[in-house]
Amino acid sequence: MVSIDHYEAHRNVGKYKLPLRLTFIDPKKAFYSVETHAVVGALLTQAVLTQCTRILRILRELYSRFATKILPFYNDVVDNMITNQ
Question: For residue 44, what are the contacts with CB-CB under 8 A and spacing of at least 6?
Answer: 53, 56, 57
Between the ranges 1-5, 32-36, 74-78, where is the mean pLDDT highest?
32-36
Distance CA 13, CA 28 (A): 28
pTM score: 0.29
| E-assigned strand segments in the chain | 68-70, 77-79
Tell me the backbone φ, ψ of residue 58, rounded to 5 degrees: -65, -45
Please report the pLDDT score of residue 48 as a whole number. Answer: 64
Q: How far apart are CA 85 and CA 59, in angstroms?
A: 14
> pLDDT band at residue 63, thresholds of 50, 70 and 90?
confident
Tell which wins on pLDDT, 49 or 16. Answer: 16
